[in-house]
Amino acid sequence: MSTADRHPTSDEGTLEDYLHDRLAASAADPTAVSADDLATVWAQMFPFQDGAARTGLRTFQTAFRAAIAESGGEEALNLRGGGWAVDLRGGIVRTALATAFIAGVLAASGVTGLLPLVAPAVLPLLFDVHQVRLKPSEELVLAELQLTAQARSGGLTADELYALLPNQIQDQLSRLDFADFLDQIRRAGLADRTADGRLTLRAPDNARLKISIS
C-alpha cells in the first residue's frame, strides 16, 4: 500500500504527511505544484462549495505561498504566467502545507483579517497539530462492530453498540472503556453522533478527516 492510499487513522504519521501524500497523489507534476493542485486537495476534504469553504480555500492557498516564501524565500516559488508553482519534493513543503491548512480551516470558521499572512509565523508557535489515531486494540473493536449489519446501518445508542460485541471482547472491555472508545472513533472521523447521542459508524475509506489542536 502506498502512503497516498493509507488511511489517516491507521498508522504512524502526521497531518503534514497526510496532506503531502494527498497532494502527491493528485498533482500531475510534483515539480510544479500550483494553487489548482491545492484546490484539488481541499475539495477532497471539503467537497461542499459554500462561502465558508471558498474562503478557507483562498486562505489555504495564500497561506501556503506565504509559508513557502517565509521559509525558503521567493526563489522557492516558480512563477509561471502570473501564477506560481512549488516543487513538492522540497523539504519545506510539508510544514507549509500543515500550517496553511490550519489557516484555511480557521478562516472557514470565521477567523479572517491578516490570518493568511501571519499564519506561517504564528500558528506553529501556538498549536501542536496531530491527527487522531486509533490504537490496535481500538481498531479491533471497531472491526468487530463493522461486521454487524445493525452497526453499519447506524442510529444506535452506546448500549446497543456494546451489546453487539462478542462476549470475549465484552469480558475485556468495560462499558466505561467502551464509552471512551466511542469518543475516540468519533474524534478520529470514524463515527458521527446525532443530536440525541446515537452513533453512525463510517467505513475506513469514508472517514472524515479530523485533527486535534492542542
| 79-96 tens-digit pLDDT | 444 456 666 666 677 778
* pTM (two decimals): 0.49
**Pair (67, 159) in one structural domain:** no
String of DSSP letters for the chain? --TTTS-TTTSS--HHHHHHHHHHHH-S-TTSEEHHHHHHHHHHH----SHHHHHHHHHHHHHHHHHHHHHH-GGGSEEETTEEEE-TTSTTHHHHHHHHHHHHHHHHTT--TTHHHHHHHHHHHH--EEE----HHHHHHHHHHHTSHHHHH--B-HHHHHHTS-HHHHTTS-HHHHHHHHHHHHHTTSEEE-TTS-EEE--GGGPPP-EEE-
**Pair (87, 151) in one structural domain:** no
Q: How many domains does the chain have?
A: 2
In a domain, 1, yes or no: no
pLDDT bracket for residue 101 (50, 70, 90) = confident
pLDDT of residue 172: 95
**Pair (122, 187) in one structural domain:** no
**Pair (59, 115) in one structural domain:** yes
pLDDT of residue 88: 66
Domain hosting residue 92, numbered range? 15-131
What does the pLDDT average to over 8-33? 69
